[in-house]
Amino acid sequence: MSGRWLKLTGKREEVIAQAVKIFSEKKGSSIDPEMLLLREQKSFLNFIRRGKTYLVSLQEDPSIKVDGHCQIRFTPENVLLKIFPPAGEGKPVKKEQIAEKLETKEIKEIDWEAIETALEEEYEDWFPIAVRKPELDRDATVEIQISNDGMACYVDYEPPLGGKGFNLPELEDKLKEAGVVYGIDKKALETLSGLTVSTSKFKVAEGKPVKDGKDGELKWHFSIRGEKVPGREREDGSIDYYDLDLIKNVKKGDELVTLVSPGSGTPGMKVTGEEISPKEGKEARLPAGKNVEPNEENTKLLAAIDGQVVYERGRVNVMPVHHVRGDVDLSTGHIKFVGGIVIEGNVTEGMEIEAEGDVEIRGNVSAATIKSGGNVILHKGFRGKNKGSVKAQGDFQAKFVENAIIEVRGNIDVSEAIMHSQVRAGGDIVVTGKGLIVGGSLWAGGSIEASTMGSHLATRTEVVVGVDPVLRQEQDKKVKKYKEIADNLEKVNKAVRILNEQKRKTELPKVRENQLKQLKETQKYLEKEENQLQKEIEGLKDKVMSMRDGQVRIRQLLYPGVRINIADTQHLVEDEQKRTKLVYEEGEVVYRVF
């Protein structure tokens, strides 16, 4: 309500009925619909809404402009008239208006002289204007209409003309006779029984809409929209713009999609009491694609292999290989995948690639980090810039390697050059084609072969063959741990000796006795660990010593300054050598023709 105006929407008759009820409750007494002032609000929304919007107020309000009007009432003997004066700047009611209203009421033999006198003298009380003729009286009538779908009941109502109206129970009986038994609006009936004006399409009952069952749904356990995020938030609140997390990795058996059962719905009810059965929801189907399988109950879709889950053309697939059609850069972010990875473009500086399967890159790689549970195949070169690295459980292939760290469990095959890099292989290292090895250090569990090794500038180049890098690293770790245990044991032994000397001289306090007991237990534990590590180190040393089959093979030229180690024997190249191979014989490294 705005100010003294009431804003209501609906058909004119419905709005009048609502307003009569509201203003009657506000005033504490019933009001006549003639006392209402209605103003239609024009709006394009009226074409959308079911009805029009009106501003409604009482004409007795002095703050508004209200024209005068009249009301008619019947007594057993007479027909009475009451003239209501205008409010504010409203116009007084005219004789012609009164005549028109009396004609609609079918009132005869009217005392026009009395009416004219009342108009002139602005008489405001009820006064007789005609003798009531009972034969002209007319009772109120109702015509009940049920909508075609049975969901609503409307009433066309004509008020009485001197005759009998309807009370609430009578209206309820009328509805019952018409078969309306559900959703009856008693407040609407009360309003209707008090109306003194005609109304049509007045809703008095409404059914309960049926609610059909909800269709079955698919609950996705991964995002099917492929939203891009600016980066992953680190613990300190900063953003890692390289980590976009665009690949959804799954393991065999992971849940991908779950079926949500359809609903049965809720029955509806017509105003006639007839129940409306709901339609059951449709079953959803699992969108099975490649490398997926349903569970036993056929309610979930599971990954049949490790890989990347993707949603394409309405199907869920698990792909064993992740393909990148272009470059790996900030637009793709780091790539971490449980299968294999194939990259059609380049890998830019700072990017990280991690795969449990093979990694194949058809472009150049610049200062990136690559980890593979299988092989790493680079169709072009790898410029590490002293920070790029490759770690693989299988083999490594590339055109060239420069200023990089390469660690693989298998073989290394490079077609042009390895320059100033730290290279470790569990198998052989072979550089074909131009075949240059210069600078850095190379370790191979097998042999190392190149066309040229070192340079005329005597660039420091270290080569170790016949020693598995992993085995040597394990040996180094155990030796380091052995030294730490030996140092700790020496300290414990010293403390035990001191306490034992004190105990020989005098009785130790209880605290010292407990301390001596704990030290002896520690001493015993460290001695056991020391002996065990010593045996393990000797065993690894024997393995290293047995790996003497490694060779260094030079197809063209070996420059001075290159340091060569076979097993545990070192050799410094002092003179230029051509087409040679270095092997281990009788405790030393010797040259042989290659």
pLDDT digits (tens, 9 = 90+) for 181-193: 999 999 999 888 8
Residues of the chain with pLDDT under 70: 1-5, 25-30, 41-51, 59-66, 87-88, 135-136, 225-246, 544-548
Q: How many residues does the chain have?
A: 594
> Could you tell me which residues are beta bridge partners of residue 438?
419
Burial 208-228 (b: 16+ CB within 10 A, else e): bebebbeeeebebebeeeeee
Where is 131: in which H helix or E strand? Answer: strand 127-131
> Taking a C-beta distance cutoff of 8 angstroms, is the pair 183, 269 a contact?
yes
Alpha-carbon span 130 to 294, nearest angstrom:
90
> Taking a C-beta distance cutoff of 8 angstroms, is the pair 266, 278 a contact?
yes
Alpha-carbon span 81 to 504, nearest angstrom:
135
User: For the whole model, what pTM was predicted?
Assistant: 0.53
Phi, psi of 58 (to 5 degrees): -85, 140
Q: Which amino acid belongs to residue 224?
A: I
Q: Which amino acid belongs to residue 272?
A: T
Sole residue written with tokens 């890099």: 421
Alpha-carbon span 309 to 286, nearest angstrom:
15
Alpha-carbon span 577 to 1, nearest angstrom:
106
- At 335, list the tokens: 């790539």
* DSSP one-letter string for 21-86: HHHHHHHTS---GGGEEEEEEP-GGGGTSSSEEEEEEETT-TTS-B--EEEEEE-SSEEEEEEEPP
60-76 pLDDT tens trace: 554 556 678 888 888 88
